[in-house]
Structure 1
Amino acid sequence: MQNSTTQESTPEAQDVLQNRYQEALGQRRTTDFFAEMDAFFDWMLTSGLTPKARNPTGYERSTATNNLQRLGRTLPQLWKKHGRYTLAITNDLADWYVKQLEDDNITKDNGDPYADSTKRKHACALYAYKRWRTDQRGGEAWQPHTLFDHEPSQKPMADPIKLAERKQLREAVLEYETVTQYNNCTPEERDRIRALLAQRLGKPKSDVTKGDWEDVNRCWKYPSLFHVTLDTALRPIEVKRAKVGWVNLEENRLEIPKNESAKNDAYWETPFRSRTGGSLNRWLKQRAADPAYDNTDALWLTREGNPFSSGPLGNRLRSLMEAAGIAIAERDISWYSLRHSLATHMATITNNIEEIRLQLRHKCIESTLRYIHPPDETVRDHLAQL
């Protein structure tokens, strides 16, 4: 990726677009057009992928060039629809263009429809341009309703957790895997719970003490794990790699080094709420006194002393949902459900897709859009207005 560029190394837009607009636009509008296309091209090279990052990164030069060429074919169609030359492409106009692609009203020169892969490239070029307008020209943020991404995902799709369910989980995890207070149990209940704790703690039933009973009810491992993931949408690999050194309680955020990030692609600072910081603080104090963590800097380990993986994490989430009285039948619930949930519900609160991208730790905004699903309650509200 390109992180910097010079006037000498940056081709002017007319080198890419082959100055074919002057006859249609006239001299002054052509001059304005290419000046803006030069600025757009430079932005793509220097910071187009992560414009708000501390160390922004840009597109590969070949990708930036292809985006510019495709935009050069798109803009005249938008001008025709709009009725005149403009570089302030409205969201309605951008939506119209994507819908024309979707309905095969924009085709190859011979009339054949574009393949979805080609439609995606054209939509992404327009999306990059709209992001530049938002970042550099005060334009309105735009989220295309599709980027024609029909390729199989490397990760299984997951149903997002609903907004009300997120609040239920945040509260329910405070009681998750706790047991009835020792002094409040009948002898029969005490014997049954002692057997449960023996299995959970990996020790003989006769060795389970009242102190073990109290430790289980005080433990903040699962509250901290779920509270952090509800706020930061941790991937399974990030839970597995999470270290004590990632936690900055003064700033209430995770600080993930580049070489420990999910794709080893960037240093990330991901904020969480102060309530989550409280859960983490309590867990860190308990963790420091737990012999199971004496020889590791892992933030969380399974009951068996192993790093968490996708399967056990999904099992924990489904178990917690059932404990909270949340129906999971006919739903594809995995640990990624929490990640999809954060993106989906943040999108209903903020139109700033850049904020969501940073919170999910995506290098590319196009990746973030795949995690946003219109929630049922929002769709119903909109239907009620029709």
Structure 2
Amino acid sequence: MKDLDKYPVVTDPSSEILNPKELLDYREAREDFLSWLLAFGKDPSTATGYSRDTVLRTAYRTDQFNRWVWQNHGYTTNFTHDHADAYMRELAFSDKSRTHKANTQKSLKRYFKWTAYARGSDEWEPAHSFSSSSSPNPRDYLTIEERVRIREAALEYGSIPAYGGLTPDERDRWKALLAQRFGKPKSEVGSEDWDRANGWKFTSLVWTSLDAGLRPVEVERAQTTWVDVENQLLRIPREESSKNEDNWVVGLTERTADALERWLDEREMYSRYDDTNILWLTREGNPYQTSSLRSLLQRLCDLADIPYENRRMSWYAIRHSVGTYMTREEDLAAAQAQLRHKSEQTTMKYDQTPVEDRREALDRMG
């Protein structure tokens, strides 16, 4: 059985409404279900499981469905197609988003796929389907100009003036700032802290994401072993890829490979990396995640003078820019390989004309 310590086998809301014997019964059923999803769920014939993130989302959504069944029909672990149809009918009339409805339906289909495999029952064919979005377009993405400005901002972000070019008063103020940043007395701030403040961590993280279109979870999981500086590549093993489907080889520019090489050398100086292969850690020693990456991108936008108040400026804006412009400069196949999409259908949403091209067309149209 797969290790389920990091998964919501039984959520707190479910624990609160079940008696001890029901709780034990439910936990056993959930462990079987989630273990199957991880090991076999995507393709039982080849023992290919779903990714960690997919299983997490499925666990929460099916648990919510289970509680709805208990509240309306009493406790059971034998959830039926009628239960699912009734739940989706109620959800259809709710004010939940179409994305939530579509994702819930997908999660329930995974559950009944498991019951078909484990119990010999039929898979569920819902009466109605929900598309996750009315538009095939990707979310906000950085334009070519904005990509250049973000790349340049990553060189400047977190940097400080050269030590020798400061007056004694200016140097004293910068020492106070560095003491606060690195959590040490001002009297102990030295030249090595100056070098550290002008380090390559943020530059390498941002530039690698601009080249490879890294998802937030890929930034979180990135390992030093992925980096092939000599050949200007990221080599992402199957077991560490976000979709957990294949080994991926992703191209990098020469300057990004150079930034990574500099960061790998610098990284050896920091004790927080002594016992881990994680490529980038926050100041607190944690892997970067969605919220910390969103904050980083917004600070870079502020530095680059890129407005984002009316845009969905998440880390995915970088990834979507890679897909959009790789498709324009090369083709869908190149974008599919660079973004690590298993299916070309996923990449199809980037087969659109960027706003700059449309603006130029309007100028030509008069």
Q: 1:223 to 1:372 in 2, by over 3 A?
A: farther
Alignment equivalent of 1:363, drawn from 295, 320, 342 = 342
Alignment equivalent of 1:298, drawn from 255, 266, 278 = 278
* Aligned mates of 1:315, 1:327 — CA distance in 2: 14
TM-score scaled by length of structure 1: 0.57
Alignment equivalent of 1:178, drawn from 151, 159, 168 = 159
| Secondary structure, aligned partner of 2:234 | strand
* Aligned mates of 2:318, 2:290 — CA distance in 1: 12
| Secondary structure, aligned partner of 2:155 | coil
The size of the alignment, in residue pairs, is: 237
Gaps of 5+ in 2: 1-42, 46-129
Gaps of 5+ in 1: 1-57, 61-148
Q: Verify: 1:196 aligned to 2:174, yes or no.
A: no
* Aligned mates of 1:329, 1:242 — CA distance in 2: 30
* Aligned mates of 1:188, 1:173 — CA distance in 2: 27
Alignment equivalent of 1:379, drawn from 354, 358, 363 = 358
Q: Counterparts in 2 of 1:101-120, with a 5 A limit?
A: none
Alignment equivalent of 2:332, drawn from 353, 365, 368 = 353
Q: Counterparts in 2 of 1:202-351, with a 5 A limit?
A: 202-217=183-198, 219-350=199-330
* Aligned mates of 2:266, 2:346 — CA distance in 1: 37
Alignment equivalent of 2:145, drawn from 164, 188, 192 = 164
1:187 is displaced (CA, Å) by 3.7
Q: 1:159 to 1:373 in 2, by over 3 A?
A: farther
1:150 is displaced (CA, Å) by 4.5
Amino acid aligned to 1:305: G
Q: Contact 1:221–1:300 (CA<8 Å) still a contact in 2?
A: yes
Q: 1:186 to 1:328 in 2, by over 3 A?
A: farther
| Misfit runs of 4+, over 6 Å | none
Looking at secondary structure, tell me which structure has more helix per residue: 2
Greater C-alpha radius of gyration: 1
* Aligned mates of 2:188, 2:294 — CA distance in 1: 31
* Aligned mates of 2:188, 2:148 — CA distance in 1: 37
* Aligned mates of 2:289, 2:352 — CA distance in 1: 25
1:382 is displaced (CA, Å) by 1.9
Superposed CA RMSD in Å reads 2.4
Amino acid aligned to 2:336: R
Cα shift readout 1:89-137 (whole Å, capped 9, x = no counterpart): xxxxxxxxxxxxxxxxxxxxxxxxxxxxxxxxxxxxxxxxxxxxxxxxx
Amino acid aligned to 1:357: Q
Cα shift readout 1:127-151 (whole Å, capped 9, x = no counterpart): xxxxxxxxxxxxxxxxxxxxxx951
| Secondary structure, aligned partner of 2:230 | coil
| Secondary structure, aligned partner of 2:235 | strand
| Secondary structure, aligned partner of 1:254 | strand
| Secondary structure, aligned partner of 2:293 | helix
Amino acid aligned to 2:357: T
* Aligned mates of 1:376, 1:157 — CA distance in 2: 13
Q: 1:250 to 1:373 in 2, by over 3 A?
A: same
